[in-house]
Structure 1
Amino acid sequence: MVGAASAEAADKEELVRIREAVGNDYVPDDDEPYMSERQLDYFRMLLLEWKRSIRNSAEHTLQSLQDGPIREPDMADRASSETDWGIELRTRDRQRKVTAKIDAALRRIDEGEYGYCEVTGDPIGLKRLIARPVATMTVEAQQAHERREKISRDD
């Protein structure tokens, strides 16, 4: 757990540095060079903030789990509470997977590959990356990928 705490502290320090460099009201623009240092810092900031938000939600869930078992006297209320917990745990599992994608996106920034389609090598586009900072493909490549997946599932 010590490693996680030091990683979290490093992320916080990085966020402070980036906010100072980028500014609070900066939004990437098509008029500037694609994947400039400022744009990369902006996306790094988005990714780190998203990761921090997920981490905070997970801590809240863990704390709730540690507070004890569900003690609803009514069977219907108990079933409802257990269903709610099941949904909460599935949400946390999805967020764990998103965290892995965030870490991969941060590695791509460090390696100079962020913002470019892993299939075509074309720029993914600022609007798509703002909407989905973990995107690895252009819209067109993603659609083709999904069509291939659908066809293989249908076979």
Structure 2
Amino acid sequence: MPTQAKQQASQTLSGFEPYVPKEGEEYMGAPMRAHFTKILSRWKQELMQEVDRTVDHMKDEAANFPDPADRASQEEEFALELRARDRERKLIKKIDKTLQLIEDEEYGWCDSCGIEIGVKRLEARPTADMCVDCKNLAEIKEKQVGK
């Protein structure tokens, strides 16, 4: 896929303009931190809206079905939604932690080796706290240990 097409797909799918550092720009300087703050804040807002939609949906759809199969189907649907919202709740906590790292100017460096994580990786996974190499190594170790 040509670079321009990739950028357009990225803008469409994620709703943000990929960051292009200016020549000589400091890694994780104020403009770059503002870019990631915007991404994370928007992501958090979308997750919070989804939580509100779920609550409204569950209130609107809650019914006491006389048929046990219908009731079971509805309960299973609600359980799946609640599981998804629980994962999103954990993600919101991680986003808040990441926003605090940005504010403290500690965002963007690998927790394991200390090198720059990189703009493209952070745009793909804004809550990443490891570089690709350290993350791959951690996943290999995890598979070997069997956690």
| TM category, shorter | 0.7 to 0.9
Instruction: Output the CA distance in 2 between the equivalents of 1:58 and 1:104.
Output: 19
Q: Give TM-score, length-normalised by structure 2.
A: 0.79
2:47 — aligned with what? 54
2:38 — aligned with what? 45
In the TM superposition, what is the alpha-carbon distance from 1:35 to its structure 2 partner?
A: 1.4
2:58 — aligned with what? 65
For residue 132 of structure 1, the aligned residue among 115, 125, 131 is: 125
How many equivalent pairs are there? Answer: 131
Q: Give TM-score, length-normalised by structure 1.
A: 0.75
2:138 — aligned with what? 145
1:27 — aligned with what? 18
1:76 — aligned with what? 69
Instruction: Output the CA distance in 2 between the equivalents of 1:151 and 1:25.
Output: 38
For residue 91 of structure 1, the aligned residue among 84, 90, 110 is: 84
1:113 — aligned with what? 106
Structure 2 unaligned segments of length 5 or more: list them: 1-14
Does structure 2 retain, via aligned residues, the 8 Å contact 1:70–1:82?
no
Instruction: Output the CA distance in 2 between the equivalents of 1:70 and 1:85.
Output: 12
Q: Which moved more, 1:82-91 or 1:60-69?
A: 60-69
Q: Which amino acid in 2 is paired with 1:136?
A: D
2:84 is aligned with 1:100: no
In the TM superposition, what is the alpha-carbon distance from 1:68 to its structure 2 partner?
A: 6.6
In the TM superposition, what is the alpha-carbon distance from 1:62 to its structure 2 partner?
A: 1.9
Does structure 2 retain, via aligned residues, the 8 Å contact 1:116–1:137?
yes
Runs of 4+ in 1 over 4 A off after TM superposition: none
Does structure 2 retain, via aligned residues, the 8 Å contact 1:115–1:129?
yes
Q: Which amino acid in 1 is paired with 2:19?
A: P
Amino-acid identity (%): 37
